[in-house]
Amino acid sequence: MTEQLYHHIQNLVPNFRIQQQDIAPFFQTKSVKKEELLLTENEICDTIYFVNKGCLYLFYENNNEKQVIHFALENWWITDYKTFSDTKPAVYAIAAMEDSEITCISRQNYEALLLQYPLLALYFNKIHERAYGAALYKQKTFATVSKEEFYRYFRITYPELIRRIPDAIFASYMGVSSITLKTYQELYVS
């Protein structure tokens, strides 16, 4: 477990008083290389990933093309939440978009951690609320604005992220071709 994750917990749950060394054994920190797969479709999803450094993305394959659903930057969590909760084969895959350092917790350790330290359920609930809210907001935005307007919104709201995402991956996330994305980029050159 990293200091970064420990401080992230403290920021979201100010009354958190458990010592870092007490909860550290539940977590594992490791480095992953760009494009390394952390989860593949149809594999049992039994891990949640916290990004200390780098960026991960969640996607599925459709006609041999990646359809990107979600990104996770520093201090964000990512997993296939549906299959993590019911221990069924994953419907998504997770890969590193760039060389990254992540902290992981397995399903078994997650459940043991929450049983031993119930206050951490509040932390993870806040994480899940944020993720669910972001997913709903993306869905609404996709349904109510044009792809160009979505690009403009994303560029203004997440300028650091848009600089880090390769064009092919961002085009997949938006559901447009690389050529269409290039057109939007040319319209909004800084």
pLDDT at 138: 84
Average pLDDT, the chain: 93
Instruction: Mention every residue, 6+ apart, whose C-beta is less than 8 A from residue 140.
Output: none
pLDDT of residue 190: 57
9: left (phi over 0), alpha (psi -120 to 50) or beta: alpha
**pLDDT in the model for residue 82:** 87
**CA distances to 45, 142, 144 from 185, in Å:** 36, 18, 21
Q: pLDDT per residue over 81-102, tens digit each?
A: 889 988 889 999 999 999 999 9
Query: pLDDT tens digits, residue range 101-153?
Result: 999 999 999 999 999 999 999 999 999 999 889 888 888 988 899 999 999 98
- DSSP secondary structure, 31-63, as one string: EE-TT-EEE-TTSB--EEEEEEES-EEEEEEET
Cα(12)–Cα(2) distance, integer angstroms: 16
Amino acid sitting at position 22: D
Task: Tell me how far apart the alpha carbons of residues 119 and 154 are, in angstroms, rounded to a whole number.
Answer: 34
* H or E element at residue 24: none
Neighbours of 17 (CB within 10 A): 8
- pLDDT exceeds cutoff 90 at 187: no
